[in-house]
Amino acid sequence: MPVRFQPSARKAIDFAMVEMERIGDPALSSLHLLLGLLEPGAEGSQAALRLLGMNPAALQLDARRDIHLARTGALLAEIDDAPEHVLERAGRISEQCGASDISDADILMAAAQDQATWAGKLLAASGVTPALLWGVFPEARGVLRHPGAPDPLAGIEMLDVTFPPTFAPALPVRTGIGYDSHRFGVGGPMILGGIEIPGDIKLVGHSDADAVCHALTDAILGGAGAGDIGELFPDTDPVNQGRSSIEMMRAACAASEKRGWRVAQVDVTVIVERPKLLPYRDAMRASLATALGLPADCVSVKAKTNEGMGWVGRGEGLACMAVATLIPMRTVTR
Ligand code: MG
């Protein structure tokens, strides 16, 4: 098991020791360690938190509050707050990653996994769960930045964390928004929401031009903080010519799940003068629900006209807006 620390991890531990002395605490606690991990010098743990949309400064305030509560006896005394167990666990995580030294991201992951410590409880209560951290861990640790490096998470079974009732966190929910529009062209059928809409017009685009799926793809990627459809599928790449947009949407789900977020519900509005979409609405919902792995009542498709105004009103094309709600994945299996 590695016992050497990377410079950023060393910096976090040094900061924890300095804080312990400054505050006048008799021993190092997991909360001091967490303070160190929230310092800007701890680049890996900072990156992990940023990828999860967390504010390290706010977490630091919470850690200081808990340190104060611990000193005044307001936190339960019987808890086994052992920072050495966190560091031992970090060593095992580092070993599983095939690394020769322990990174600050390893320590953060270990702290989140160790639900017996105050730091673990604080992270869980703040929504920084091991399951979410796994999603961003390779990027934060930088282990996948080297071409050809093996997946450090391969073969590692995810822990499913259960929270004691008093620490049940308000689970974070994320929302993403997406928009797309395509011109009409001659010759049907039109592909929308993964189904064929018969008629003599189609949507023109590099892929199959399914604006519903494109808006949904961007909404999912946006909610997960995973970029946008243009980054995943550049229209300059001939491989994407005629690509199925359902496939793109599934790829967005996969990218989102890799970061620990699962699509829970989507809502779509198509703005179009004609064709009238009502007869196809349920088929679109069913098609999207199947692709997203959701029950049909978690997928909404609505259509409305633009009251004859503007380019939509003139029948030049259609526009689509989508919202996706994402929830944390409680168990990640790889
Ligand atoms: Mg598009």
- In this model, does residue 37 exceed pLDDT 90? yes
Q: Are residues 79 and 182 in the same domain?
A: no
Count CA atoms within 13 Å of residue 217 on its CB side: 25
pLDDT tens, position by position, 261-319: 889 899 999 999 999 999 999 999 999 999 998 888 899 999 999 999 999 999 999 99
Give the β-pairing of 201-204 and 174-186: antiparallel
User: Cα-flanking dihedrals φ and ψ of residue 325, to 5°?
Assistant: -105, 130
- Give residue 259 CA to ligand 1 midpoint distance, Å: 24
pTM: 0.53
- Give residue 205 CA to ligand 1 midpoint distance, Å: 7
- Give residue 181 CA to ligand 1 midpoint distance, Å: 6
- Give residue 217 CA to ligand 1 midpoint distance, Å: 10
197 located within any domain: yes
- Give residue 327 CA to ligand 1 midpoint distance, Å: 25
Give the β-pairing of 4-5 and 101-102: parallel
pLDDT tens, position by position, 138-161: 777 765 444 454 454 454 444 443
Closest residue by Cα to residue 272 from 233, 316, 223:
316
146 located within any domain: no
Q: Are residues 92 and 203 in the same domain?
A: no
- Give residue 283 CA to ligand 1 midpoint distance, Å: 20
Last residue of a domain, one of 117, 141, 165: 141
Which pLDDT does position 75 carry in this prediction? 59
Burial code of 184-210, b = ≥16 C-beta within 10 A, e = fewer? beeebebbbbbbebeeebbbebebbbb
- Give residue 206 CA to ligand 1 midpoint distance, Å: 8
- Give 219's pLDDT tier (boundaries 50, 70, 90): very high
46 located within any domain: yes
165 located within any domain: no
- Give residue 214 CA to ligand 1 midpoint distance, Å: 5
CB 5 within 8 A of CB 101: yes
> Rounded to an integer, what distance in angstroms lies between the CA atom of residue 132 and that of residue 171?
11
pLDDT tens, position by position, 46-90: 888 888 878 888 888 888 888 877 776 655 555 567 788 888 888
Number of domains in the chain: 2
- Give residue 211 CA to ligand 1 midpoint distance, Å: 5
> Rounded to an integer, what distance in angstroms lies between the CA atom of residue 174 and that of residue 307?
32
Which pLDDT does position 246 carry in this prediction? 95
- Give residue 324 CA to ligand 1 midpoint distance, Å: 17
- Give residue 110 CA to ligand 1 midpoint distance, Å: 42
- Give residue 141 CA to ligand 1 midpoint distance, Å: 34
User: Cα-flanking dihedrals φ and ψ of residue 150, to 5°?
Assistant: -70, 155
Find the domain containing 288 and state its range: 174-328
> Rounded to an integer, what distance in angstroms lies between the CA atom of residue 133 and that of residue 128?
7
pLDDT tens, position by position, 179-216: 999 999 999 899 999 999 999 999 999 889 999 999 99
- Give residue 216 CA to ligand 1 midpoint distance, Å: 10
- Give residue 53 CA to ligand 1 midpoint distance, Å: 27
Question: Which CATH number goes with the domain that contains 206?
Answer: 3.30.1330.50
Name residue, tokens 């008093």. 166
Q: Are residues 80 and 26 in the same domain?
A: yes
Q: Count the helix, strand and coil residues of the chain and give each as a percent rounded to the nearest 5.
A: 45, 15, 35
Kind plus residue range of the DSSP H or E element containing 261? strand 261-271
